[in-house]
A and B are shown apart, each in its own frame.
Chain A
Amino acid sequence: MNSTLAILAILDGISYAALVFLVSVGLSLIFGVLRVVNVAHGSLYAFGAYLAATFSLAVAPISPWLTYPALLAASIVIGVVCGGFIERFLLRPLSGQEDVLQLLITFAAFMIMDNLQRLIWGVQPIFAAEPLRLLPNIAVFGVSYTSYQVILLPGVALATLFGLRYFLRRTLSGAVILAVTEDREASTAIGIDAKRVYFVTFVIGASLAALGGALASPTTSLVPGMGADMIVLSFAVAATAGLGQIEGTALTALMIGLTRAFVIYLQPEFEVLVPYLLMVLVLLVRPFGLFGAVQVRKI
């Protein structure tokens, strides 16, 4: 592989990693705080994508630039409405129960949302590419790239990463979340409303999943089953990083994105295997993930 192809592969890897990070980080955040593996995360991604496409198609005739706020609005709506509902009415009643029950209830939510998605948006693929078309293409060594994928998506991913870091480590609300994560009983004893923290965290995590879907919607066809695929990939990334590790999730997403891109250039037969092969290799050596630690809960 020459240096030109290597640069192309790096660009492709970064673009893919950005999207994977945006989806996976919500899953990781929710696990870090609530200790719940949210199987419905994939459905939140799919709902975010579908609602963003619906909003985009509705506002595009007024002004194509309105499609960008439409993507953000869709993410927030899904995060608050669907995420809020799942946490308040499905997970909270099971608080303190065995972990497997929470896993099952989010799985049930996933199945219900998968059917709801078909009822609302049907089964035919939906495509709403207006936000992508607004930005120009750029040429790298004669190969055309959309700036939406190689500039905007990585930019949003970086902004999310540093925004989350700032929020959790430099703001009072973030400190409260960290306190509950470290020791729920102690933080409750000093007057922190842990239930509210769980609710807010779940809504943020759900919004991030929906944001991933919304940002993916201009680049891909929205089809039934898209949520199932994404939950598997997100789980592989989060598990490889170590559940609850935000920076770890970013690095793992980048690692998977770059490896996948180079594999497509060099040995495309192994493309499908890449995330899972990496996960298995990492977990064999470090059972708590690349950045995870035994019995230590971090976000």
Chain B
Amino acid sequence: MQFLKTAVAAGLVVAAFTGTSLAQTKPSELKIGITTFLSGPASVFGVPAKAAAEMIAEDLNKKGGIGGVPVKLSFIDEGAGGEALVSNYRRVVQDEKVDATFASISSGSCTQLVPIAEDLKVMNFMWDCGAASILETKKYRYNFRTQANGTPEMLAVLLYLLKTKPDFKTIAVVNQDYAWGRESWEIFSTALKAMKPDVQVVAELFPKFGAPDYSTEVSRLLALRPDVVLTTSWGGDLDTLVRQAGQRGLLQQSTFVLGIGESSIQRLGKDLPEGLIVGARGDHWFLHPEKKNDAAFKAFNEAFKAKTGAWPIYPVYHMAQAFKALQTAYDKAIKSNGGNWPTREQVVDATVGIEFATGFGRPITLRPEDNQGLEAQLVGVTKSVPGYDFKLLDNMMIFDPKVITNPAGVRSVEWLKTLKPDFVKMDVPTFKAQ
């Protein structure tokens, strides 16, 4: 009899422990570690993104959090650079024991942190970095990109140029001299060569990152008179280039293409003339033609404007995408787990292949083969509109990500080389500014 009691007690203990392993205890908070630039030139993206993260988390927690658990954020400054970034990331994951991380803005930071996230087995969303190569070279389990990469972003801009200015003969590039400036030009020029091989590249200028003066570059371009000038620069560099070019008539002489200029439009104000082609690193625009009358979209934009003094720019929407992806993944994992709180591994499993929609743009799918986000791309041309002290985007085209993203398992540049001139003829919806 004594043996029977002992056996029953042991059985209950085993059952209890087994039950615990299947249904995690719901935590008191869901911790998220976020790397973003809080210092240095890229803080023009990082600081608005941080403001967005705080706003979204606050709103999420008011509504009960994710699966009934409030979220808690820890921020890491990407501006601190290399070793400090890595050690802070490890600290947040190992000491603070965050449940997920959103890293990073810079492709350099992503390249550093992605293998570490994999090693530490923490789910990481690459929420803003654009280097396509990161997910092309290796299949990761814990790393996902919740937005597009540089390939569809640049290809969309090129397609817009080819559709709207098909007769240009010469082009020059002025990009910042670092990874993004070089890689974006490689994507753009490879696709250009494949689809319009008769175009002559008359100048490839890569001034120093953070250069305070572009006078010489502007002089050279004024003398060369290219039909098109491309720049994928951003932040203060782009502002300086556009203003110096505008002051000396270069913006009027050549068609300017600002690959990721959406983030500078408000700052440039009246200094930005009409007729410049502007990309947005996704279908991001505070007057998104398909969403501008949506109450939640308007409310978010106005709340952000009230908080920061400016309308949201693309990193703000990228941050919202990371949150929505996390929420979608947890909801799916909880449902799969019979309503119980999921393990981390169950959440990772649930994240593979999800589709999510922030309501601020078209839905995004995480491609299951390589965890790459498929995100629509919006490109437009600048136009003056009464009531705004900066230019708006007009004649906007929104490109389907499934068409303009390289297939999984095929390197971007190799895929771009296979494009034909007929690729330009794809049907793309066009929207007016208002």
A binding-site residues for B, Cβ under 8 Å: 4-5, 8-9, 11-13, 15-16, 19, 114-115, 118, 122-125, 127, 129, 132-133, 137, 141-146, 149, 216, 219-226, 229-230, 260-261, 264-265, 268-269, 271-272
A-B contact pairs, 18 of them (CB 8 A): A8-B223, A9-B219, A15-B215, A123-B43, A123-B47, A125-B236, A127-B267, A143-B223, A144-B249, A145-B215, A145-B248, A219-B212, A220-B212, A220-B213, A224-B40, A224-B43, A225-B41, A260-B216
Task: Give the distance in Å from the alpha carbon of A155 to the alpha carbon of B14 in the complex.
Answer: 87
**Shortest distance between the CB of A229 and any CB in chain B (Å):** 5
Q: How far is it, in angstroms, between the C-alpha of A268 and the C-alpha of B223 when the chains are bound?
A: 15
In order of increasing CB-CB distance, the 4 nearest A-B pairs are: A223-B236, A221-B236, A123-B43, A125-B236
B216 contact from A122, A123, A261, Cβ within 8 A: A261
Q: Is the CB of A12 within 8 A of B243?
A: no
Residue of A nearest to B239 (CB): A221
Q: Which residues of A contact B203 (CB under 8 A)?
A: 268
Contact B235 A271 (CB under 8 A): no
CB contacts (< 8 Å) of A216 on chain B: these are 212-213
Residues of B within 8 Å of A222, CB to CB, are 236
| Inter-chain contact A16/B216, CB cutoff 8 Å | yes
Cβ–Cβ contact B220 & A125, under 8 A: no
The residues in B between 178 and 209 inclusive whose CB is less than 8 angstroms from any CB of A are 203-208
A124-B267, A146-B248, A220-B240 in contact; A11/B44 too (CB < 8 A)?
Answer: no
In the complex, how many angstroms separate the beta carbon of A257 from the nearest chain B beta carbon? 9
Nearest chain A residue, comparing its CB with the CB of B249: A144
Residue of A nearest to B244 (CB): A219
Write the B235-252 contact mask toward A (1 if CB under 8 angstroms, else 0).
Answer: 111011001100111000
Chain B proximity of A66: nearest CB distance (Å): 21
A264 CB contact (under 8 Å) in B177, B220, B248, B310: B220
Q: How far is the CB of B351 from chain A (nearest CB, A)?
A: 32
Evaluate contact between B248 and A137: CB separation under 8 angstroms: yes
Bound-state Cα–Cα, A265 to B215, Å: 12
A264 and B217 contact, Cβ closer than 8 Å, known pairs A125-B236, A221-B236, A224-B43: yes
Cα distance, A149 to B235, chains bound together (Å): 23
Q: A124-B47, A149-B215, A272-B207 are in contact. List 10 more A-B contacts (CB 8 A).
A: A115-B39, A118-B39, A125-B236, A129-B243, A143-B222, A144-B222, A223-B210, A225-B210, A264-B217, A268-B205
* Mask: chain B, 352-381; 1 = CB below 8 Å from A; 0 = not: 000000000000000000000000000000
List residues of B (138-156) whose CB comes within 8 Å of A's CBs.
Answer: none
Q: Are the CB atoms of A146 and B216 closer together than 8 Å?
A: no
Binding site for A on B (CB under 8 A): 39-41, 43-44, 46-47, 177, 203-208, 210, 212-213, 215-217, 219-220, 222-223, 235-237, 239-240, 243-244, 247-249, 267, 271, 310
**Residue ID in chain B nearest A132 by CB atoms:** B247
**Smallest beta-carbon distance B38→chain A, Å:** 8
Contacts of B177 in A (CB 8 A): 272
Cα distance, A201 to B59, chains bound together (Å) = 55
Please tell me if the beta carbons of A143 and B219 are within 8 angstroms of each other in the complex.
Answer: yes
A226 contacts B212, C-beta separation under 8 Å? yes
Is the Cβ of B247 less than 8 Å from the Cβ of A129?
yes
Contact A223-B219, Cβ < 8 Å, known A123-B44, A123-B47, A145-B248: no
Q: Are B206 and A127 interface neighbours, CB within 8 A?
A: no
Partner of B206, one of A137, A146, A269: A269
Closest to B207 in A: A271
Cβ–Cβ < 8 Å partners of A144 in chain B: 222, 248-249
Report which residue of B206, B237, B240 has the largest number of chain A beta carbons within 10 angstroms of its beta carbon.
B240
Report whether A268 and B210 are in contact in the complex, using a CB–CB cutoff of 8 Å: no
Q: Which residues of A contact B216 (CB under 8 A)?
A: 9, 12-13, 16, 260-261, 264-265
The distance from the CB of B310 to the nearest CB of chain A, in whole angstroms, is 8
Question: Which residue of chain A is the closest to B237 with respect to CB atoms?
Answer: A221
B247: chain A residues at CB < 8 Å are: 129, 132-133, 137, 146
Minimal Cβ-Cβ distance residue in B for A229? B210
Chain B's closest residue to A263 (CB) is B216
| Given A11-B219, A264-B216, A221 and B39 contact (CB-CB distance below 8 Å) | no
Complex Cα distance, B213 from A13, in Å, reads 11
Contact status B223-A5, CB under 8 Å: yes
User: Contact: B43 with A268, CB < 8 Å?
Assistant: no
Q: How far is the CB of B261 from chain A (nearest CB, A)?
A: 13
Residues of chain B contacted by A142 (CB below 8 angstroms): 222
Docked complex Cα distance between A212 and B239 (Å): 20
In the complex, chain B residues whose CB is within 8 Å of the CB of A123:
39, 43-44, 46-47
Interface-centre pick from A8, A127, A133, A226 (highest chain B CB count, 10 A): A127
Evaluate contact between A221 and B243: CB separation under 8 angstroms. Answer: yes
Beta-carbon contact of A12 and B219 below 8 Å = yes
* In the complex, chain B residues whose CB is within 8 Å of the CB of A268: 203-206, 217
Question: In the bound complex, do residue A264 and residue B41 qualify as a contact, i.e. CB atoms below 8 Å apart?
Answer: no
CA distance A137 to B267 in the complex (A): 24
Residues of B with C-beta under 8 A to A269? 206
A144-B248, A224-B39, A225-B40 are contacts. A8–B243 as well, Cβ < 8 Å? no
The smallest C-beta distance from B220 to any residue of chain A, in angstroms, reads 6
Task: State A275–B248 Cα separation when bound (angstroms).
Answer: 26
Taking the nearest CB of chain B, how far is it from the CB of A169, in angstroms?
Answer: 32
Identity of the chain A residue whose Cβ is nearest the Cβ of B45 in the assembled complex = A123
Report the separation of the CA atoms of residues A219 and B211 in the bound assembly, to the nearest whole angstrom.
12
